[in-house]
Amino acid sequence: MDDIESITFFGIFVSVVFSFLVSMAESFLKGLDKNQVIEVAEDGGGNYEVLYTLLSQPQKYHVALALLKWLSIVSAFTLSFPLLISLPKIAPSLVVILVFVLLVELIPRNYSYPINTNVLIKFLYILRPVCWLLFPIILPMTYLSRFSIRLLGGKNIKIDSIVSPELLETFVSVGNRQGDFDVEEHEMISRILGLPDKVVREIMIPRTDIVHLEAKSGIDEILRAAIQSRHSRIPVYRDRVDHSHNIIGILHVKELLDCWSKGETVDLEQLVSSRPPYFTPESRKIWDLFQDLQSSRLHLAIIVDEYGGTAGLVTIEDIIEEIVGEIQDEYDTEEQIECIQISSDIYSVDARMNIDDFNDFFNSNLEVVSVDTIGGVMIDHFGRVPEKGETFQIDRLKLSVLEANNRRIYRVTVDQTISNETNLTKSKEEFHG
């Protein structure tokens, strides 16, 4: 009798542990990171092949994991049922059930820790033959689930998507070249994959920096704005530019040449009447906006906030720069360049620089929910617009106001000396330790 009980307890233990591992595997698959996917694709070889089978046919793996999970759950309860009903009180039974739910559902579902790519690949090597063995069950179960959903009047969700179609396409392209990438290409791929997650608010030119023209502007004012800004397209408004409904069109500067060549008087309202502005909310995804601008053959969009006010402006060039990096031309001045290195550890940074870009460049971890730019970080810290020369330290970086007025910050000085000294001290400790 003791031997039978020992075997039963061992069987329950194995079933519970197996259920836990399968549930953790499901969590790992859902948390697969795009950078890990590209890393495997660059390395190529067998790891690339096994991950490709997962990304191209994920439903097969989902069904296999579901079958394994429920087989282990049923096995555990079948083995434990005689023991549970023989217990004199209900409390121990509830404790066992709660522990089982904790291990099989709650911990795996809420587990958030960086996934080790090598561990995941090894698991896929084990799971692939299991999928082959369970294929006679997986195939009918897949079709049966789809049929049942349609029968109930629902729609089949494309859960076959562990990653986006764009990432899968990139994964295949990178895998075909297998590591033949330089640093710049790798960075560009990362930017492309990050593009669908960004919203236009993160890259827009704020309203206060927009070059615009009032509808009744004279020819001298129009020429001055066109020459000083060097822009080929300028928004035209009536009365106030902060209300989006007051923006009546977009002036194409080259059309002024047509007017002058014909000896016609420049009438801004008439000139822009055939080119109405394209409006989009600041929460719009960059990738969606890019596709719309391409299909509409437009180069510029006016960004509006939730109240209908003018928030800013985004051009095709701004979106392309998110992919290829900053584009400098002969008209860009130092004030327009986002980040300038002054010395080995000191940089001059445009206060409009996005916090994510700042973190990537300086390898920092700034996190401020209420603002998007490094200038916003400084205003959030001081609780006001700081004056020139005011300084504070954050995340091993010393930030100083380089240029500002009583309304906004223009440029910030970033001193990395503290960060580099800390890294040097750590290196010495590791060397002597």
- For residue range 130-167, what is the model confidence (pLDDT) as tens digits? 777 877 787 787 778 777 777 777 665 554 455 555 55
How far apart are the C-alpha atoms of 139 and 157, rounded to whole Å? 17
Say how many C-beta atoms besides its own lie within 10 A of residue 187's C-beta. Answer: 15
Q: Which fold has domain 334-423?
A: 3.30.465
Structure pTM?
Answer: 0.55
Pairing of strands 205-206, 310-315: antiparallel
Span 306-321, average pLDDT: 88
Span 266-270, average pLDDT: 83
Q: Say yes or no to pLDDT of 14 above 70.
A: yes
Say how many C-beta atoms besides its own lie within 10 A of residue 379's C-beta. Answer: 19
Q: Which amino acid is at 425?
A: T
For 308, left (φ over 0), alpha (ψ -120 to 50), or beta? left
Predicted local distance difference test score (pLDDT) of residue 401: 92
Contact 352, 373 (CB under 8 A): yes
Beta carbons within 8 Å of 420's beta carbon, 6+ residues apart: 345
- Give the 3-state DSSP-derived string for the chain, with helices as H, strands as E and coil as C: CHHHHHHHHHHHHHHHHHHHHHHHHHHHHHCCCHHHHHHHHHHCHHHHHHHHHHHHCHHHHHHHHHHHHHHHHHHHHHHHHHHHHHCCCCHHHHHHHHHHHHHHHHHHHHCCCCCCHHHHHHHHHHHHHHHHHCHHHHHHHHHHHHHHHHHCCCCCCCCCCCCCHHHHHHHHHHHHHCCCCCHHHHHHHHHHHHHHHCEHHHCCEEHHHCCCEECCCCHHHHHHHHHHHCCCEEEEECCCCCEHHHEEEEEECHHHHHHHHCCCCCCHHHHHCCCCCCEEECCCEHHHHHHHHHHHCCCEEEEECCCCEEEEEEEHHHHHHHHHCCCCCCCCCHHHCCEEECCCCEEEEECCCEHHHHHHHHCCCCCCCCCCEHHHHHHHHHCCCCCCCCEEEECCEEEEEEEECCCCEEEEEEECHHHHHHHHHHHHHHHHC
Q: Say yes or no to pLDDT of 293 above 70.
A: yes
Q: Say yes or no to pLDDT of 90 above 50.
A: yes
Q: Say yes or no to pLDDT of 333 above 60.
A: no
User: Tens of pLDDT along 342-397?
Assistant: 888 899 998 888 888 888 888 888 877 778 888 888 888 888 889 888 998 887 88
Span 407-430, average pLDDT: 66
pLDDT band with cut points at 50, 70 and 90 for residue 329: low
Predicted local distance difference test score (pLDDT) of residue 304: 92
Pairing of strands 233-237, 213-214: parallel
How far apart are the C-alpha atoms of 12 and 126, rounded to whole Å? 22
Span 4-21, average pLDDT: 77
Q: Say yes or no to pLDDT of 404 above 80.
A: yes
- For the record, the structure tokens of 312 come out as 């800013």
Tell me which residue of 218, 219, 215, 265 sits closest to 235, measured CA to CA. Answer: 215
Q: What percent of the chain has pLDDT over 90?
A: 9
Most confidently modeled range among 34-38, 82-86, 166-170, 276-280: 276-280
Tell me which residue of 247, 243, 245 sits closest to 215, measured CA to CA. Answer: 247
Predicted local distance difference test score (pLDDT) of residue 301: 93
Say how many C-beta atoms besides its own lie within 10 A of residue 150's C-beta. Answer: 11
Predicted local distance difference test score (pLDDT) of residue 235: 92
- Least confident span in 93-107, 200-214, 324-338: 324-338
Q: Say yes or no to pLDDT of 425 above 50.
A: no
Contact 395, 378 (CB under 8 A): no
Predicted local distance difference test score (pLDDT) of residue 303: 92
pLDDT band with cut points at 50, 70 and 90 for residue 250: very high
Q: How far, rounded to the nearest angstrom, does the alpha carbon of residue 58 sit from its chain's CA centroid?
A: 22
Predicted local distance difference test score (pLDDT) of residue 412: 92
Tell me which residue of 82, 91, 99 sits closest to 13, measured CA to CA. Answer: 99
- For the record, the structure tokens of 183 come out as 């640093």
Predicted local distance difference test score (pLDDT) of residue 193: 60
Predicted local distance difference test score (pLDDT) of residue 278: 93
Q: Which fold has domain 200-324?
A: CBS-domain (3.10.580)
User: Domain boundaries in the chain?
Assistant: 2-163, 200-324, 334-423
